Amino acid sequence: MSSASDRAYAAIRAMILSGELASGSQLREEHLADRCGVSRTPVREALHRLEADLLVRRNQTQRSFVAEWSPDDIEQAFELRGMLESHAAKRAAERMTPHLLDRLRGYNAALRAAITGPYPDVPAFLTQNARFHRGIIEAAESARLTTILARIVEQPIVWRTAQNFDHDDLARSYREHEDLLAACASHDGVWAASVMATHIRRAFHTYSGADRAAGSVDPATADAIQRLNLYPNMANFDDVS
């Protein structure tokens, strides 16, 4: 895959996840090529990859559109994420090492710093939250689970959930991470799975309670989304910026 295709993939994916490209909108190759600074061929390759990621759909005339999400699709995505991440948390707690536990504590401390004060730093919250959840997946030691979760967690509805969090929601997310760390420190997989299930389910109700508002996120958050890849190759885990 060419570097131009990779750039187009990252840019279009970020525009979809941030809401800049609205659900159901048509994706025109020429327009996207101009936006991404590449030719149409890399855009076409990127759209095929995004279709495999379930972020893009094609109609019978081969036109591409941003995938749309029904209320049932949204709930199913959260349910699947809850089941899979709970399983990951159980495996992680049972396999947790002191080194990785310290790293996770550092991420959650940075997350707390991002949300402390009258104006929480949502992009920083997203960054540290992604690092924390990646660490749980790394500790689970399951390449298959990592691959499956990547298809679910990087969907637009999950990224936009943080935009509907108020200060109490952000603080509660930090506290739930602390509970998960306590379960991991005790190597209690059942406890860790329970905490993660509650954590994800609460996020679903926060999203639903905001009436599924799907407006575009602010530019800083959109930039954070473009720089993040929630489940990259774990060999590059420490290189996330």
- Is the pLDDT score of 232 beyond 60? no
Q: Are residues 96 and 10 in the same domain?
A: no
Chosen domain end from 66, 85, 110? 66
Express as a percent the part of the chain with pLDDT over 90.
53
> Which pairs count as long-range contacts for 230-235, CB under 8 Å and 24+ apart, including other chains?
230/130, 230/133, 230/134, 230/149, 230/150, 230/153, 230/154, 231/134, 231/137, 231/146, 231/147, 231/149, 231/150, 231/153, 231/154, 232/134, 234/134, 234/137, 234/138, 234/146
The chain-wide mean pLDDT, for the chain, equals: 83
- Is the pLDDT score of 238 beyond 60? no
Q: Are residues 205 and 93 in the same domain?
A: yes
Q: Could you tell me if residue 11 is left (phi over 0), alpha (psi between -120 and 50 degrees) or otherwise beta?
A: alpha
Q: Are residues 106 and 225 in the same domain?
A: yes
What would the mean pLDDT of 7-29 be, rounded to a whole number? 88
Instruction: Write the CATH number for 38.
Output: 1.10.10.10
Q: Which pLDDT value is given to residue 209?
A: 67
Chosen domain end from 66, 93, 109? 66
Q: Which domain holds residue 77?
A: 71-239
What would the mean pLDDT of 110-126 be, rounded to a whole number? 90
Q: Are residues 45 and 76 in the same domain?
A: no
Residue-wise pLDDT tens digits, 64-80: 999 887 778 878 888 99
Express as a percent the part of the chain with pLDDT over 70.
80
Q: Are residues 147 and 225 in the same domain?
A: yes
Q: Which pLDDT value is given to residue 14?
A: 84
What would the mean pLDDT of 117-146 be, rounded to a whole number? 91
Q: Are residues 45 and 81 in the same domain?
A: no
Q: Which pLDDT value is given to residue 147?
A: 86
What would the mean pLDDT of 199-211 be, rounded to a whole number? 79
**Exposure string over 17-40, b if 16+ CB within 10 A, otherwise e:** bbbbbeeeeebebeebbeebebee
